Amino acid sequence: MIEFIESGLFTTVQDLGRTGFRHLGVSLAGALDRQALILANRLTGNGDNDAGLELTAGNMKIKFHRDAWFTLTGAQYEIRIGDRQIWHGWRSKINAGDILQLRGPLSGMRAYLAIDGGINVPVCLGSRSTLMSAELGGYEGRTLRSGDKLTLGEKRSLSKPIGAVQRGYSNEIRALPGPEMALFTQESRKIFWSSQWQVSNDSNRMGARLSGEALALVEEQSLNSHAVMPGTIQVPPSGQPIALLADGQTTGGYPRIATVIEADLWKLAQTRPGSKVQFIHVSPNQADDANYEWEQYFYRLQRAIDANS
């Protein structure tokens, strides 16, 4: 069991999300930076879909009630157990009774804490991830608070620390043109790909709101409601795009100008409000190549982990 002495500002239980229920209006949810959660889980001896904690900001103090191995990935945090400083991206051991202290983020936006055995909250609709808008999954469907206690899954047998280099962040985010790209004026299409978009303060797990020069349609028209998904960049009448993230709603009616590729969605999740991103137009083949690069990264990682255990 782990106990939250300080919970941080916005800490939730997340796995890789909830599939199979989008036709009922249930969002995918799950880690915003999926690759960081998978990395933390692999290093900690967990399955890719085991639940970990997603940390957004603030100081945290977590008391461990059993010996455990843990790894923090994603956004950089200062990590301490008592006076001992722990490396980011390395699995480390903590003893029962000790307190893990986290301060940050120093850079990036969202960190992932995996603990061996995973966080053992009940499975809801096939997933342990928290969907706050519907108050379901995770721990009571909400963010964690001081005093909350979470149980852990079965201990893994691990013997020594091991770490990995995370892939580098850039603010260039690759995207495919969306179904309604052609409805925008030529000028707006050019602006979309060529300008730097600022991530606004209203961004949350549902979507990253972007601000910049307003985009305009050739002519006003109302669309039939259609499915949307994490990565969909939709443009409401204000002309300021919204890139949907994991908790984004399942259907919408705004024109979809583009879709962030799966391999780069993590970059959007790691961009802080106030910072800028630029979208890079790619083809479906380039998107496939980008996914393949991630597979290769995890393949090499797994070989290194296997060789060291």
The minimum distance between CB 139 and other proteins, in angstroms, equals: 14
- 140 in contact with other proteins (CB under 8 A): no
When asked if residue 40 is in the footprint of other proteins (CB under 8 A), the reply is: no
Are 214 and 295 a contacting pair, CB within 8 Å? no
Indicate whether 19 belongs to the interface with other proteins (CB under 8 A): yes
**Strand 60-64 relative to strand 2-7, pairing:** antiparallel
Q: Which of 85, 251, 275, 308 touches other proteins (CB under 8 A)?
A: 251
Do 132 and 143 contact (CB within 8 A), yes or no? yes
Is there binding between residue 250 and other proteins (CB under 8 A)?
yes
Residue (121 or 162) nearer to other proteins, CB: 121
Q: What is the dihedral of CA 14, 92, 58, 203, to 10 degrees?
A: -40
CA 196/CA 170 separation, integer angstroms: 13
Task: Find the shortest distance in angstroms from Cβ 26 to other proteins.
Answer: 5
Q: Find the part of the chain contacting other proteins (CB under 8 A) among 33-41, 65-73, 78-86, 135-143.
A: 135-143
- Judged by CB under 8 A, does residue 124 bind other proteins? yes
Closest CA to 102 of 130, 73, 125: 73
For other proteins, which residue of 1, 5, 9, 25 counts as binding (CB under 8 A)? 25
User: Measured from the CB atom, is 92 or 232 closer to other proteins?
Assistant: 232
Q: Are strands 276-281 and 172-177 parallel, antiparallel or unpaired?
A: parallel
269 in helix, strand or coil? helix
Q: Determine contact, residues 197/257, Cβ cutoff 8 Å.
A: no
Q: Does 137 bind other proteins (CB under 8 A)?
A: yes
Quick check: 80 and 86 in contact, CB under 8 A? yes
Q: Does 283 bind other proteins (CB under 8 A)?
A: no
Smaller CB separation from other proteins, 26 or 86: 26
206-245 binders of other proteins (CB under 8 A): 224-227, 229, 231-232
- Examine residue 187 and tell whether it contacts other proteins (CB under 8 A): no
Q: What is the Cα gyration radius of the chain?
A: 20
Strand 172-177 and strand 84-86: the pairing is unpaired
CA distances to 139, 208, 214, 226 from 237, rounded to whole Å, are 36, 16, 9, 17
**Residue of the chain from 259, 266, 268, 277 that contacts other proteins (CB under 8 A):** 259
Residue 235 CB, shortest distance to other proteins, in Å, is 16
Is residue 92 a contact point for other proteins (CB under 8 A)?
A: no
Span near other proteins by CB under 8 A; candidates 53-61, 69-77, 132-140, 272-280: 132-140
Give the relative orientation of helices 34-43 and 284-307 as an angle to the nearest 10 degrees: 20
Q: Which is nearer to other proteins, 21 or 297 (CB)?
A: 21
Q: Which residues bind other proteins (CB under 8 A)?
A: 19-26, 124-126, 131, 133-137, 176, 178-179, 224-227, 229, 231-232, 249-252, 256, 259, 261-262, 284, 287-288, 291
